[in-house]
C-alpha cells in the first residue's frame, strides 16, 4: 500500500480576506480563547460563510486569531481574520456572524482587508480596571507610584514554567478618572455592572495603555505590580475590560488614555 498521504481535495481558492472586530461581554468574558475558537468556527458554519479550507488530513477553515484577551477579561476590541472563497459584503457577514454567535460575543465591525501586517499594527491595548472597594484617591496614588518606578519585576506561571519580567516598562500611560466620567465602551453597552451602587461609590476606574511585548504584560501583571509598589490589594476580584487595540500614537503625553491608541482598521477602510 502506498505511504500515508493526505487526500488531495478540490479546495476553492481564497478570494477575499475579511477582518473582524468583536467584543466579549458580560458573562461571556469567562470564555477562554479556545472556547471562542470553537464557537466562532461553528458560527461560520451556521452563518454559511464560504470559508477557505487548508489542505491535509484534517482540513480546517483558514482563520487567524490576534492576541486574545485572557479568560475572565471582557473586551471591546478583539480581532480575527478569515479567508473566504467568494467576494462577500462585509456588513452582511457581520450581521450573519453576530446572529450566529451567542449574545455576549458580538461582532462589531467587518472590513475587507486591503493591507498586510495587521497583527503588527496592534501595538498596544487600552485596559480598563474596575476596582471595587478602592477609592479614587488610593488608586491615583498607586498609579503614580507605579509610573514613578523604573521597573517592577513580577512572576507568572507560563507554559515554560515561572517567568520573571518587568510589568512596568510596557505601561505607557495610566489614568484614574473621576467617577462621573465612565468610559464609553463603544457599540452596544455591555451587560450591567456586577457591583451595587454602594460599592460603586468606592470603586475607582483605572485605565492603562500597555504596549504589546513578549512575554505579554497583562492587566493581572500590572495589578501585581501595583501591589508591589503601593500595596494596593482590591478586596474583591477586579473586573477588567480591554477597550481598544491598535497603533500607538507617537507622543502619548498630553493625550487622554483613550486617544493614545488609534483604529487598526483605518488603513483598510481607505
φ, ψ dihedrals at 58, nearest 5°: -120, 80
Q: Which triple of cell numbers denotes residue 12?
A: 476553492
Q: Please say whether the beta carbons of 217 and 171 come within 8 A.
A: yes
- Tell me whether residue 93 or residue 257 sits nearer to another protein (CB atom): 93
Residue closer to another protein, measured from CB, 98 or 172: 98
Residues 228, 5: Cα–Cα separation, whole Å: 56
Shortest separation between residue 39's beta carbon and another protein, angstroms:
6
Q: Which is nearer to another protein, 119 or 236 (CB)?
A: 236
Least distance (Å) between residue 49 CB and another protein: 6
Question: What's the closest the beta carbon of residue 13 comes to another protein, in angstroms?
Answer: 14
User: For residues 54 and 31, is the Cβ–Cβ distance under 8 A?
Assistant: no
Of 40 and 122, which CB lies nearer to another protein in the complex structure? 40
The C-alpha angle 207, 210, 214, rounded to 5 degrees, equals: 150
Residues that bind another protein (CB under 8 A): 1, 4, 10, 27-28, 30-32, 34-35, 38-39, 41-50, 53, 57-59, 71-72, 84-89, 92-93, 96, 100, 102-104, 194, 236-237
Q: At its nearest, how many Å lie between another protein and the CB of residue 115?
A: 18
Query: 110 vs 173, which CB is nearer to another protein?
Result: 110
CA distance 233 to 210: 21
Please tell me the distance from the alpha carbon of residue 181 to that of residue 189, in angstroms, as a whole number: 15
Smallest separation (angstroms) from another protein to the CB of 17: 14
Grid coordinates given for 99: 446572529
Nearer to another protein, 100 or 171 (CB): 100
Residue 74: DSSP 8-state: E
Q: Collapsing DSSP states into helix, strand and coil, what is residue 27?
A: helix
Q: Round to whole Å and give the CA distance between 227 and 231.
A: 4
Amino acid at each position: 500500500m502506498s505511504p500515508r498521504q493526505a487526500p488531495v481535495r478540490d479546495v476553492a481558492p481564497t478570494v477575499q480576506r475579511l477582518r473582524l472586530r468583536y467584543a466579549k461581554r458580560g458573562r461571556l468574558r469567562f470564555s477562554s480563547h479556545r472556547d471562542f475558537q470553537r464557537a466562532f468556527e461553528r458560527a461560520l458554519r451556521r452563518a454559511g460563510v464560504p470559508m477557505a479550507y487548508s489542505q491535509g488530513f484534517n482540513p480546517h477553515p483558514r482563520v487567524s486569531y490576534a492576541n486574545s484577551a485572557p479568560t475572565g477579561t471582557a473586551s471591546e476590541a478583539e480581532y480575527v481574520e478569515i479567508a473566504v472563497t467568494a467576494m462577500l459584503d462585509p456588513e452582511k457577514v457581520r450581521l450573519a456572524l453576530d446572529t450566529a454567535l451567542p449574545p455576549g460575543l458580538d461582532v462589531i465591525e467587518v472590513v475587507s482587508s486591503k493591507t498586510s501586517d495587521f497583527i503588527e499594527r496592534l501595538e498596544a491595548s487600552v485596559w480598563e480596571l474596575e476596582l471595587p472597594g478602592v477609592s479614587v484617591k488610593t488608586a491615583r496614588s498607586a498609579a503614580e507610584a507605579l509610573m514613578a518606578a523604573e521597573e517592577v519585576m513580577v512572576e507568572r506561571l507560563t507554559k515554560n514554567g515561572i517567568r520573571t519580567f518587568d510589568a512596568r516598562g510596557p505601561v505607557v500611560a495610566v489614568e484614574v478618572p473621576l467617577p462621573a466620567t465612565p468610559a464609553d465602551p463603544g457599540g452596544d453597552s455591555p451587560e450591567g455592572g456586577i457591583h451595587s451602587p454602594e460599592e460603586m461609590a468606592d470603586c475607582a476606574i483605572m485605565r492603562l495603555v500597555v504596549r504589546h511585548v513578549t512575554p505579554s504584560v497583562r492587566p493581572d501583571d500590572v495589578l501585581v505590580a501595583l501591589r508591589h509598589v503601593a500595596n494596593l490589594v482590591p478586596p474583591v476580584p477586579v473586573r477588567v475590560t480591554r477597550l481598544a487595540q491598535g497603533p500607538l500614537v507617537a507622543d502619548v503625553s498630553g493625550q487622554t488614555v483613550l486617544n493614545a491608541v488609534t483604529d487598526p482598521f483605518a488603513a483598510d477602510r481607505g
